[in-house]
Structure 1
Amino acid sequence: MTTAIDLFAGLGGWSTGARAAGVRVLWAANHWPEAVKWHAANHTDTEHVCQDLHQAKWEQVPKHDLLLASPCCQGHSKARGKKAGNPQHDSSRSTAWAVVSALEFHQPEAGVIENVQEFMEWALYPAWLAAVQALGYQVAPHIVDCADLGVPQHRVRLFLVLTRSKAPLMLELHKRQHVPAASFLDFDAGRWSPIEKPGRAQATLDRVRNGRQRFGERFIMPYYGKGSGTTGRDINRPIGTITTLDRWALVDGDRMRMLSADEALAAQSFPADTLRPDNHRLTMHMAGNAVPPLAGQRVIEALLAAA
């Protein structure tokens, strides 16, 4: 059986996808105790470490065939902006170097790195790429909308496939039929409130009105930000990108509510029996940062098929 380790494991999108692809995840690490707690609850046969991977002792990490990693993307993502000289963003970007350290020590046969596509615009990306290549890996970038892999969510992400091959290995990622948001939305659950109530922002009311004109009585809309504009989205298509904060609102006639944590996890393609915090905010944070398990599974399956 193919074995793997999961760096920056979070709630376990990579690990869950790997398990579904028939890969055994031997070891997983994250710096946030809460994430490690819930990853461990869902992956009881995986060894867990809570640490800053800049200080990782790679000799204590089991030998593996496949390295999976999702370095912190906040320093690259346009969603949060990139202010020059922001120490927090600099620190976030530097997490990618832990991947190089792990590759250097264990030299697995392959690796897959997930991030936002702006990762390749990082000023140090050429140096990072050169370091990976110096270790004997070819690097094949794949920019993928996870909806094309069967995830009920439009989520464009970069998957860097690292292989010890003569040329970069471009995977055959077959485009699946899009799965609608309606597949996971529950209009009989959740905490609804009247749309017309004191204090409701005019911008929200405008979004509702515009959404009704296009989609009728039931639709999804961004509750804040520019998002998909002010007209919302049809529930018969995938939802927009799940973020770490409450972003999407459901409208049903004269009532509305925010997306629930369980719906956010389903939009990310986590199994229904995934264990998670009772705290809504914590779950949303973990869900928004995760690799969609189904996307991870499809990428790993394509990699194993090509190997």
Structure 2
Amino acid sequence: MIKAIDQFAGFGGFSWAARQAGAEVIWAANHWPDAVHWHSQNHPDAEHACQDLHQVDWSQVPAHDLMLASPCCQGHSKARGKKSGNPQHDASRSTAWAPVSCLEYHRPEAGVIENTPEFVNWELYPAWEMAIRALGYQVSPHIVDCADLGVPQHRVRLFIVLTRSQAPLILGLQQHQHVPASSFIDFSTGTWTPIERPGRAIATLERVRNGRLQYGDRFLMPYYGSGSGLTGRSLDRPIGTITTRDRWALVDGDRMRMLTADECLAAMSFPKDTRRPDSHRLTVHMAGNAVPPAAGQKVIEALLAAA
């Protein structure tokens, strides 16, 4: 069986992906204790490390065939806004060097690094890629909409495939039929409130009115931000990107609510039996940072099939 490790494992989306693709996750690490705790609850057979991955002694990490890594994406993502020179974002970008150190020590047969598409626009990306090539790996970036890989969510992500092949490996990713948001919405649960109530923002009421005109009594809409504009979103198509805080509201006639934590996990394609915190806020935060398991699975399967 293929043995894999998961760097910046977070809530374990990449680990679920590897398991579902037939690999064994033998080691996982993250700097955040809450993430490590819940990863260990869902992947108890893996060895876990809670530490800054810049400080890892790679000789203490087990040998593996496949390296998975999701370095911090906030420093690259459009979602961080237009501010530059933010020390926190600058530090987060440097996390991308940890997988390079791992590759240098362990030399696994292959690796997959996940991030936002803007990662390739990083000022140091050419040097980062050159370092990986110097270690004998081909570097093949794939930008995909996770909805095309069976996730009920439009989420454009970058998967960089690293192999020891003669040429960069272009994965044969089959486009899947889109899964609608209605597949995970449960109208019988959640905390509903009347749409027409004192203090409701005018912008929210306008979005509800416009959504009703286009979609009828039941639809999704962004509660903040510009996603889906002012008209909402049909339940017959994938939801928009799940973020690290409550974003999507569900409208049903004269009532509305935010998505539940379980619906957010389902929108990310986590298995139904995934163990999660009781805290709604913490679950949503970890889900919004995760690799969608269904998308990661398709990428890993395509890599293993081509290897």
Task: Please name the residue that 1:142 is paired with.
Answer: 142
**CA distance in 1 between partners of 2:230 and 2:99 (Å):** 40
Check if 1:220 corresponds to 2:213. no
Task: Please name the residue that 2:250 is paired with.
Answer: 250
- The offset of 1:81, in angstroms, is 1.6
Task: Please name the residue that 1:275 is paired with.
Answer: 275
Task: Please name the residue that 2:22 is paired with.
Answer: 22
Classify the secondary structure of the residue corresponding to 2:169. Answer: coil
**CA distance in 2 between partners of 1:38 and 1:207 (Å):** 36
User: Which amino acid in structure 1 is aligned with residue 212 of structure 2?
Assistant: R
**CA distance in 2 between partners of 1:254 and 1:13 (Å):** 36
Check if 1:128 corresponds to 2:128. yes
**CA distance in 2 between partners of 1:219 and 1:82 (Å):** 31
- The offset of 1:85, in angstroms, is 1.3
**Superimposed CA distance per residue, residues 14-47 of structure 1 (whole angstroms, 9 cap, x where no aligned partner):** 0001001110001000000000000000001000
Check if 1:200 corresponds to 2:187. no
Please, which runs of 5 or more residues in structure 1 have no aligned partner? none
Task: Spell out the pairing of 1:54-133 with structure 2 (5 A cutoff).
Answer: 54-133=54-133
Task: Spell out the pairing of 1:142-221 with structure 2 (5 A cutoff).
Answer: 142-221=142-221
**CA distance in 2 between partners of 1:8 and 1:219 (Å):** 35
Classify the secondary structure of the residue corresponding to 2:257. Answer: strand
Higher deviation after alignment, 227-236 or 195-204: 227-236
- The offset of 1:7, in angstroms, is 0.2
**CA distance in 2 between partners of 1:146 and 1:226 (Å):** 20
Whether contact under 8 Å (1:82, 1:89) holds in the other structure is no
**CA distance in 2 between partners of 1:225 and 1:62 (Å):** 43
**CA distance in 2 between partners of 1:198 and 1:31 (Å):** 43
Whether contact under 8 Å (1:180, 1:235) holds in the other structure is yes
Task: Please name the residue that 1:49 is paired with.
Answer: 49
- The offset of 1:78, in angstroms, is 0.4
Classify the secondary structure of the residue corresponding to 1:95. Answer: helix
**CA distance in 2 between partners of 1:141 and 1:272 (Å):** 30
**CA distance in 2 between partners of 1:193 and 1:80 (Å):** 30
User: Across the two proteins, how many residue pairs are aligned to each other?
Assistant: 307
User: Which amino acid in structure 1 is aligned with residue 3 of structure 2?
Assistant: T
Classify the secondary structure of the residue corresponding to 2:90. Answer: helix
User: Which amino acid in structure 2 is aligned with residue 19 of structure 1?
Assistant: R
Please, which runs of 5 or more residues in structure 2 have no aligned partner? none
- The offset of 1:83, in angstroms, is 2.0
Whether contact under 8 Å (1:11, 1:39) holds in the other structure is yes
- The offset of 1:82, in angstroms, is 4.3
User: Which amino acid in structure 1 is aligned with residue 109 of structure 2?
Assistant: E
Whether contact under 8 Å (1:76, 1:82) holds in the other structure is no
Task: Please name the residue that 2:292 is paired with.
Answer: 292
**CA distance in 2 between partners of 1:2 and 1:81 (Å):** 39
**Superimposed CA distance per residue, residues 219-257 of structure 1 (whole angstroms, 9 cap, x where no aligned partner):** 000000111101110001000000001000000000000
Query: Where do 4+ consecutive residues of structure 1 move more than 3 Å?
Result: none
Whether contact under 8 Å (1:8, 1:31) holds in the other structure is yes
Task: Please name the residue that 2:9 is paired with.
Answer: 9
Structure-1-length-normalised TM-score? 0.99
Percent identity of the aligned residues?
Answer: 76
> RMSD across aligned C-alpha pairs, in angstroms?
0.5
User: Which amino acid in structure 1 is aligned with residue 237 of structure 2?
Assistant: R
Task: Please name the residue that 1:37 is paired with.
Answer: 37
**CA distance in 2 between partners of 1:125 and 1:260 (Å):** 37
